[in-house]
Amino acid sequence: VGDIAGEASGRKAVTLSSTGQYVEWTTRAATNTLVTRFSIPDGTNTTLNVYVDGQFLKAIDLTSKYAWLYGNETAPGNDAGS
């Protein structure tokens, strides 16, 4: 609790906080799946561009519209004022 990697696979996570930042990795085997979790400020819509072998694959649309965590992490609520 209180650590962005707390619920991440392998307890590892990254923060991309500005345009142009990126993360890259090499998979152990061929794959056709990417699971992402994200947290962005209220009222935000943005995209996450995915590249494979240096080639643009697709843009993933991200929105804060359906994601929320207000208040304490151990007892979240749905009230932006908490």
Count the neighbouring beta carbons within 10 Å of the beta carbon of residue 15.
10
Which of 8-12, 17-21, 54-58 has maximum average pLDDT?
54-58
Alpha-carbon separation of residue 51 from 13, 14, 21, 61 (angstroms): 19, 17, 13, 15
Summarised one tens digit per residue, pLDDT across range 34-67 is 888 888 888 899 999 999 999 999 999 999 888 7
Number of compact structural domains in the chain: 1
Average pLDDT, the chain: 83
- Asked if residue 82 has pLDDT above 70, the reply is no
Which one, of 51, 29, 48, lies nearest residue 40 by Cα?
48
Binned at pLDDT 50, 70 and 90, residue 2 comes out as: low
Q: What is the pTM of this model?
A: 0.69
- Range of 1's domain? 1-82
